[in-house]
Amino acid sequence: MPVLVTGGSGFIGSNLVEELLERGREVKVLDNFSTGRRENLAHLTGHIELIEGDLRSYERVHNAVRGCEVVFHQGALPSVPRSVQDPISTNDVNVIGTLNVLLAARDAGVRRVVFASSSSIYGDLPGLPRVETLPVGPAAPYAVSKLAAEQYCQVATKVYGLETVALRYFNVFGRRQDPLSHYSAVIPKFITALQDGRAPVIFGTGEQSRDFTHITNVVNANFLAADAPDAAGHVFNVGNGESHSLNELASVLARIIGVDIEPEYAPPRTGDVAMSWADISKARDLMGYEPDIGFEDGLALTIESYSPQPVA
C-alpha cells in the first residue's frame, strides 16, 4: 500500500519522500507549493504520485489519503515570525488542515498518522531539558497552532481509534532548507552569509540556545513512529538531546567554512524562545530512537550541500 506525505515538496517532506523511495515504498505527495519548492521533487518525477492541493480542502485531502497505509503529515505554514504577522492563515493551514488530514485518514481506513509537531509549544516556561510531561506555554501563534493540532491527534486516537503519533521537532536543519526565504531558519541564513563573506545576524544576545537536529535524525524518527507498536497515541521529542547557543553556532560554522567573521547583533524578535533542549528518553524507550548525526557533523554535511558544485 502507498504512503502519503503532506508537504512533500518542503525541506523535511522532500527528504522524507526520497528516503521512503529508497526503502522501496510507493509514495504519494500532497502539496500546494505555497512554501515548498517544485525543484525539491524534480528528480523524483515518475517515481511519485504528485497531487496538487490545499490542506484546507477536505475533499482534496480525502482524495489524496484514499488507499494509503500511513500518512506522514509534514504540511504546514512554518515560521514563528510569519505566524505573528498572519495568525489567521497559520491557524487555518496548521489546525484546520490537520483536522482534515485526521478525518480523511479515519474515513479512508489509514493505519497511522505521523504528525510533525514542534518544540515551540514549550515556550519559555522553566524546565530543561524539555520533557513531554512538562506544562506547555506557546509564545507565538505558530506554537499555538501546533499544540492545537497535536491535541486533535490525541483526540482522534481516543475518540475514533485512529493511530496517531506526534513528533515535536527541535530546530531541524540540513540539505534543501531554503536559505533565501525571509522566514528561513537560522542555520541556512548563517551559512550563506559566511560563505558570501557577510556577518551573520543574531537577534538578541546570542546566548539563546537550541537543540539543533540534523534532517537524517528526523527522517529516521518518522520511520520509527510509523511502525513502533507502543508509539500510538503518544507525543515524542525529536532532537539531539543537547543544546548549543547561537554564538557557539556562528563560531563553529565560521571555523568549518574557514572564515574569520564575527556576527552582528540586532534586537530580539517577538515570539522567539530563549532556551530549547530536548529530553529524548521517551523516544528512545518507546520507539528505539537514537540520533545518528551529531551537531558538528550535521553542520559540515549541510555546508557541503550549500556549496557550489565543481564544474566538470
Would residue 181 count as lying in a domain? no
Polymer length of the chain: 312
pLDDT digits (tens, 9 = 90+) for 39-61: 999 999 999 999 999 999 999 99
Give, in order, the Cα–Cα distances in Å from 61 to each of 31, 57, 103, 225.
10, 6, 9, 22
One domain, residues 149 and 36:
yes
As a whole number, mean pLDDT of residues 64-76 equals 98
Would residue 180 count as lying in a domain? no
What is the C-alpha separation between 275 and 298, in angstroms, rounded? Answer: 20
Average pLDDT, the chain: 95
One domain, residues 254 and 162:
no
One domain, residues 269 and 138:
no
One domain, residues 150 and 108:
yes
Q: How many domains does the chain have?
A: 2
How many angstroms separate the first and last alpha carbons of the chain? 41
The pLDDT assigned to 272 comes to 83
| Angle between helix 246-257 and helix 295-306 axes, rounded to 10 deg | 50
pLDDT digits (tens, 9 = 90+) for 263-284: 999 999 888 888 999 999 999 9
Q: Which residues contact 241 (CB under 8 A, 6 or more apart)?
A: 129, 211, 277, 278, 279, 280, 291
As a whole number, mean pLDDT of residues 212-238 equals 97
For the domain that residue 102 is a member of, what is the CATH number?
3.40.50.720
pTM equals: 0.94
- State yes or no: pLDDT of 310 exceeds 50: no
Nearest to 157 by CA among 145, 165, 146, 148: 165
The pLDDT assigned to 311 comes to 35
One domain, residues 49 and 153:
yes
One domain, residues 110 and 50:
yes
One domain, residues 124 and 268:
no
Would residue 179 count as lying in a domain? no
The pLDDT assigned to 182 comes to 62
Q: Is 117 helix (H, G, I), strand (E, B) or coil?
A: strand
One domain, residues 250 and 271:
yes
One domain, residues 99 and 190:
no
The pLDDT assigned to 185 comes to 86
Would residue 312 count as lying in a domain? no
One domain, residues 108 and 255:
no
Q: Which residues are catalytic?
A: 142
The pLDDT assigned to 312 comes to 35
Work out the burial of residue 87: count CB atoms within 10 Å of its CB; fewer than 13 is exposed, 13-18 middle, 19 or more buried.
middle
pLDDT digits (tens, 9 = 90+) for 78-132: 988 999 999 999 999 999 999 999 999 999 999 999 999 999 999 988 899 999 9
Would residue 160 count as lying in a domain? yes
- State yes or no: pLDDT of 309 exceeds 80: no
One domain, residues 146 and 264:
no
pLDDT digits (tens, 9 = 90+) for 145-201: 999 999 999 999 999 999 999 999 999 999 999 887 766 689 999 999 999 999 999
The pLDDT assigned to 269 comes to 87
Would residue 255 count as lying in a domain? yes
Would residue 311 count as lying in a domain? no
> Which residues span the domain enclosing 15?
3-174+213-241+277-293
Would residue 113 count as lying in a domain? yes
One domain, residues 130 and 39:
yes
For the domain that residue 264 is a member of, what is the CATH number?
3.90.25.10
